[in-house]
C-alpha cells in the first residue's frame, strides 16, 4: 500500500473514533491475528467514553491510561499464533419398524376346499453411525462431504410446431454425509458455527435427509451435543385378503468435538 493511502486510512479511522478529554489515540499493532478478529472480545473491556476500532493488523484505541494498560494485557493474551484444530462430528441415526397383520387364503377344488388364516408380527432395527474429521486453522472455515451422485430420470413435454414432444433427461442428486465448520477459540473455550447433514436412500428410492445449522460454545476436547430429531409414523392397509399394520420411528443425534493440535 502506498504511504499516502495508508495515511488516509489512518486519518479516516481516527476521525471515526469519538474524541474524549485527556484520551490520547493509541495504535496497537498485532503480530498473529487480524484486528477484526480480536476487537469483538475487547469491546466489553473498553471503559465508558472510550472507543476502539480496527484497521488491518492494527487496533486503534482512545481510552484512559489505566484502561489502556488493561486492554494491552488482554490484547497480549488474544494475539497468539493461530492453532490447527481438528473438528470431529458424529451423526447417529436409529430406525425402528414393527408391524403385523392377518391374512386369509382360500382354495376351492373338486372334492373339497381349504381356508388358511395367517397372522404374525415382527420388528426390525437399523443403526447408522457416521464419524468424520477435518483439520482447519483457527478462525478459518472447512467443509467435508462424502457421498455419491445418483442419476434421476426426468420426463417432460415441450411444445413444438407439430404438437407436444416428449423429452427425457437425466439429472443427478448428491446424497452423502458431511459438515462445514468455522471455529473460534478463546482460552480453553471454542465457539463454532457448524452445519452437519446426512442423507440416505429410503424405501422406494426416496432420499431421506437430516440437516442442522447452529452456533455453539463448549470446552476444547469435549463432546458437545448439537441436537437431534425424532419422527414416528403408522400405517394400516386393508385388502380383500386381510390387513397389515406397521409403525416406524426414526431418531437422529449429532455431536461435535474440537481438539487443538499442539
Q: Which domains does the chain have, with CATH numbers?
A: 3-78 (3.30.1370.120), 84-148+174-261 (no CATH)
Q: What is the mean pLDDT of residues 1-15?
A: 47
Joined together, the cell numbers standing for residue 141 give: 472455515
Pairwise CA distance, residues 235 & 243, whole Å: 11
> Given this model, what pLDDT does residue 174 score?
76
Q: What is the mean pLDDT of residues 147-156?
A: 78
- List, in order, residues 6 or more apart from 194 with CB less than 8 Å away: 87, 89, 179, 180, 181, 182, 212, 213, 214, 215, 216, 226, 256
User: Taking 50 as the threshold, does the pLDDT of residue 106 lie above it?
Assistant: no
Residue 199 and residue 166 in contact, taking contact as beta carbons nearer than 8 Å: no
Containing 198, the helix (H) or strand (E) segment is strand 189-201
Pairwise CA distance, residues 30 & 68, whole Å: 15
**Residue position matching grid coordinates 399394520:** 245
> Given this model, what pLDDT does residue 203 score?
64
- Say which residue, 170 or 71, is predicted with more confidence: 71
> Given this model, what pLDDT does residue 168 score?
87
In the Cβ-directed half-sphere of 123, how many Cα atoms lie within 13 Å?
Answer: 7
For residue 229, give the 3-state DSSP assignment. strand
Residue 241 and residue 103 in contact, taking contact as beta carbons nearer than 8 Å: yes
> Given this model, what pLDDT does residue 29 score?
93
Q: What is the mean pLDDT of residues 65-93?
A: 87
- CA-based max dimension of the chain: 116
Amino acid at each position: 500500500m502506498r504511504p499516502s493511502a495508508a495515511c488516509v486510512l489512518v486519518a479516516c479511522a481516527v476521525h471515526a473514533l469519538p474524541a474524549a478529554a485527556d484520551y490520547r489515540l493509541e495504535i496497537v499493532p498485532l503480530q498473529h491475528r487480524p484486528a477484526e478478529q480480536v476487537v469483538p472480545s475487547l469491546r466489553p473491556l473498553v471503559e465508558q467514553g472510550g472507543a476502539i476500532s480496527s484497521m488491518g493488523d492494527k487496533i486503534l484505541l482512545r481510552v484512559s491510561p489505566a484502561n489502556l494498560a488493561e486492554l494491552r494485557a488482554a490484547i497480549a493474551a488474544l494475539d497468539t499464533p493461530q492453532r490447527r484444530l481438528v473438528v470431529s462430528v458424529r451423526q447417529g441415526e436409529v430406525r425402528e419398524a414393527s408391524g403385523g397383520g392377518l391374512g386369509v387364503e382360500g382354495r376351492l377344488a373338486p372334492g373339497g376346499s381349504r381356508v388358511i388364516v395367517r397372522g404374525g408380527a415382527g420388528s426390525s432395527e437399523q443403526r447408522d453411525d457416521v464419524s468424520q474429521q477435518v483439520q482447519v486453522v483457527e478462525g478459518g472455515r472447512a467443509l467435508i462431504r462424502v457421498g455419491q451422485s445418483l442419476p434421476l430420470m426426468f420426463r417432460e413435454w415441450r411444445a413444438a410446431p407439430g404438437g407436444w414432444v416428449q423429452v427425457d433427461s437425466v439429472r443427478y442428486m448428491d446424497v452423502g454425509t458431511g459438515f462445514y465448520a468455522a471455529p473460534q477459540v478463546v482460552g480453553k473455550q471454542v465457539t463454532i458455527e457448524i452445519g452437519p447433514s446426512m442423507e440416505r436412500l429410503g424405501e422406494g428410492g426416496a432420499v431421506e435427509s437430516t440437516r442442522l445449522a447452529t452456533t455453539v460454545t463448549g470446552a476444547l476436547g469435549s463432546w458437545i451435543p448439537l441436537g437431534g430429531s425424532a419422527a414416528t409414523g403408522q400405517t394400516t392397509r386393508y385388502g380383500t385378503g386381510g390387513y397389515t399394520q406397521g409403525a416406524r420411528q426414526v431418531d437422529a443425534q449429532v455431536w461435535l468435538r474440537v481438539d487443538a493440535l499442539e
